[in-house]
């Protein structure tokens, strides 16, 4: 039997950056994200009878660097004494490039593995397992606007507003397609150890989260944009002030931010956010999405744009 699941990446508007506990991969801060609709990762998991190692194909290629994390995640779902698995992953967007591909991958993986071993855990338990593999993956189990609350020894995750209740659009400006130079896990550790801004980043996070959640509940786009941009730039300030510094941006990242600033000056409802990579995500009200897409496509250095509305959480798919 093979079990297939699909998950979409999520884009954090209030960022997760920093870990409270490294061995359990517990985030040091709470976060708020939106789950996308049209970017996806599909994972198939098949437990087999014979021995040998787990196997992993990512977009038709072996992925040895990812295999250990996938095997560990399968252990968390099915227990360490489990049959070996053949895992196949396909994504319809660039992976490892700051587009939250590990979020959609591990969210889809836990759903597929749980189905494959006949488990009946609830969504929160599966989100906690996904989060142990990749912190942001816990959010992709849920749809719409998602809050992840970081507690002392566990996380809570919930949808605070369905995508249908506030149907924002996200336009992603792809400025580079290669993998990022430093993975986010390693970069977070460097920030915690060396950035002079790290402690104030952690201290102010709950205030930012409260402001953003209130803005979502009030459907206050201007307020959400202001706090999301502020929180994003603070996270990048921690990265930039790490030693050695981590700068994920390129010149097209900055040009895209300028484009969005110009659109804002013209009165368009749009704001930017940027994760651990050079891509710029423009979040906007639906009526602005065409103009935002055209403007970003015309921005120097932008290779491509991808557009998505907000969508549902990870789910099992019918195998035909
Ligand atoms: C910048 O979830 O990739 O996208 O837990 O080490 O796998 P690990 O980190 P990961 O970090 C995501 C960082 C971010 C911000 C966010 O998504 O909240």
Q: Can you tell me the distance from the alpha carbon of 195 to that of 201, in angstroms, rounded to the nearest whole number?
A: 10
- DSSP H helical ranges for 79-168: 101-116, 123-133
Q: In testing the pocket of ligand 1, which one of 8, 36, 103, 184 has its CB within 8 Å of the most ligand atoms?
A: 184
Listed residue (43, 13, 288, 292) closest to 161, CA to CA: 13
Cis peptide before 151 (omega within 30 of 0): no
Atom 12 (ligand 1): residue with closest C-alpha?
Answer: 136
Which architecture, in CATH terms, is 3-163?
Answer: 2-Layer Sandwich (3.30)
Q: What is the pLDDT of residue 202?
A: 98
- In this prediction, residue 77 carries a pLDDT of 97
Same CATH fold assignment for domains 3-163 and 169-309: no
pLDDT, residue 180, reads 77
Q: How many Cβ atoms from other residues are within 10 Å of residue 92's Cβ?
A: 11
Q: What is the pLDDT of residues 42-94, one digit of tens each?
A: 999 999 987 889 999 999 999 888 999 999 999 999 998 999 999 999 999 87
Query: By C-alpha distance, which of 241, 268, 27 is closest to 132?
Result: 27
Query: pTM score, two decimals?
Result: 0.96
CA of 292 to the centre of ligand 1 (A): 26
Mean pLDDT for all residues in the chain: 95
Kindly state if the Cβ of 293 falls inside 6 Å of ligand 1: no
Which of 15, 27, 135 is the best mutation target for the ligand 1 pocket, counting ligand atoms within 8 Å of the beta carbon and taking the most? 135
Q: Which atom of ligand 1 sits closest to the CA of residue 10?
A: 17
How many angstroms separate the CA atoms of 110 and 36, rounded? 18
Find the 183 Cα to ligand 1 centroid distance in Å: 9
Residues 148/16, Cβ–Cβ less than 8 Å: yes
Per-residue pLDDT of 172-194, as tens digits, reads 999 998 777 888 999 999 999 99
Q: Which residues of the chain have pLDDT under 70?
A: 96-98, 320
Take residue 170 and report the two structure tokens written for it: 């996200």
How far does the centroid of ligand 1 lie from the alpha carbon of residue 166, in Å? 24
CA 44 to CA 85: how far, in whole Å? 10
Distance from the alpha carbon of residue 266 to the mean position of ligand 1, in angstroms: 33
Q: Which CATH fold would you assign to the domain 169-309?
A: Alpha-Beta Plaits (3.30.70)
The single residue listed with the structure tokens 């994390």 is 69
Q: How far is the CA of 131 from the centre of ligand 1 (A)?
A: 10
Domain residue ranges in the chain: 3-163, 169-309
Check if 185 has its Cβ closer than 6 Å to any atom of ligand 1. Answer: yes
Residue length of the chain = 320
Determine whether the shortest distance from the Cβ of 134 to ligand 1 is under 6 A: yes
184: CA distance to ligand 1 center in Å? 6
Q: What is the pLDDT of residue 1?
A: 84
Asked if 154 and 26 count as a contact pair (C-beta separation under 8 A), the reply is yes
**pLDDT score of 271:** 99
């Amino acid at each position: 039997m093979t079990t297939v699941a699909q998950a979409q990446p999520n884009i954090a508007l209030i960022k997760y950056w920093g870990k409270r506990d490294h061995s359990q991969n517990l985030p040091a801060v709470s976060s708020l994200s939106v789950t996308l609709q049209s970017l996806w990762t599909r994972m198939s998991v098949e437990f087999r009878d014979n021995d040998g190692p787990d196997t992993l194909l990512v977009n038709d290629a072996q992925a040895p660097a990812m295999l250990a994390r996938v095997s560990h995640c399968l252990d968390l779902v099915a227990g360490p004494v489990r049959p070996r698995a053949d895992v196949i992953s396909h994504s319809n967007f660039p992976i490892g490039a700051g587009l939250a591909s590990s979020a959609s991958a591990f969210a889809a993986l836990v759903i597929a593995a749980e189905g494959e071993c006949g488990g009946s855990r609830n969504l929160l338990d599966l989100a906690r397992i996904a989060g142990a593999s990749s912190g942001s993956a816990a959010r992709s189990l849920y749809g719409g606007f998602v809050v992840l609350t970081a507690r002392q020894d566990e996380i809570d995750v919930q949808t605070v507003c369905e995508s249908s209740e506030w149907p924002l659009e996200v336009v992603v400006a792809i400025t580079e397609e290669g993998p990022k130079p430093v993975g986010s896990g390693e970069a977070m550790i460097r920030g915690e150890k060396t950035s002079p801004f790290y402690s104030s980043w952690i201290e102010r996070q709950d205030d930012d989260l409260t402001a953003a959640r209130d803005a979502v509940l009030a459907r206050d786009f201007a307020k959400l944009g202001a706090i999301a941009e502020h929180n994003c730039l603070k996270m990048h300030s921690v990265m930039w002030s790490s030693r050695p510094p981590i700068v994920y941006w390129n010149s097209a990242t900055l040009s895209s931010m300028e484009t969005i600033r110009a659109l804002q000056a013209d009165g368009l409802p749009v704001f930017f956010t940027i994760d651990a990579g050079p891509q710029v995500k423009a979040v906007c009200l639906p009526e602005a999405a065409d103009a935002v897409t055209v403007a970003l496509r015309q921005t120097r250095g932008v290779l491509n744009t991808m557009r998505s509305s907000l969508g549902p959480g990870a789910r099992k798919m019918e195998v035909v």
